[in-house]
Homo-oligomer: A and B are copies of this chain.
Amino acid sequence: MKISEVAEKAGLTVKAVRYYENVGLIPKPARQQNGYRSYDDSVLPILNLIHRSRAAGFSVDECRELIELFNNPARHSADVHELICQKVEAIEKQQAQLEHIKEHLIALASRCENNEKSTCSILASLTK
């Protein structure tokens, strides 16, 4: 398989696949005579794992941990469970922050004159 083919099968871009190789997430593939990367199917589970966990908000470094667990036959499923739960907590923290900011903005907006004049209590409040 050439790179565009694995990329498409995994739902990734060619650029991304080469990037994951550069940062060591996936092993360096064999090369054809012409220098083209030559993949076999064994890379697909890892690429799928990367694609899905990136989409689920994991950083590339966190993907690395997941891949190590995936590659480790002596892993405990509880370790994977733990990683997922940590991510859920991180997301909840982020949600709380966003909620906080949103409420602040809504409070600002509600005090706004919202008309064609230049007097603006939002700007007044933000520059104080």
A99 and B91 alpha carbons, distance in the complex (Å): 8
Given known pairs A98-B94, A101-B91, the reply for A122 and B80 (CB within 8 Å) is yes
Least CB distance from A113 to B in Å reads: 4
Interchain CB contact under 8 A, A81 and B114: yes
Residues of A whose CB lies within 8 Å of any CB of B are 45-46, 48-49, 52-53, 55-57, 66, 69-70, 72-78, 80-81, 84-85, 87-88, 91-92, 94-95, 98-99, 101-102, 104-106, 108-109, 112-123, 126-128
| Contact residue among B48, B52, B53, B115 (Cβ-Cβ distance under 8 Å from A77) | B115
> Could you tell me if A49 and B126 are in contact, using CB atoms closer than 8 angstroms?
yes
Assuming the A-B contacts A48-B126, A123-B69, A123-B70, are A106 and B80 also in contact, with contact meaning beta carbons closer than 8 angstroms in the complex?
Answer: no
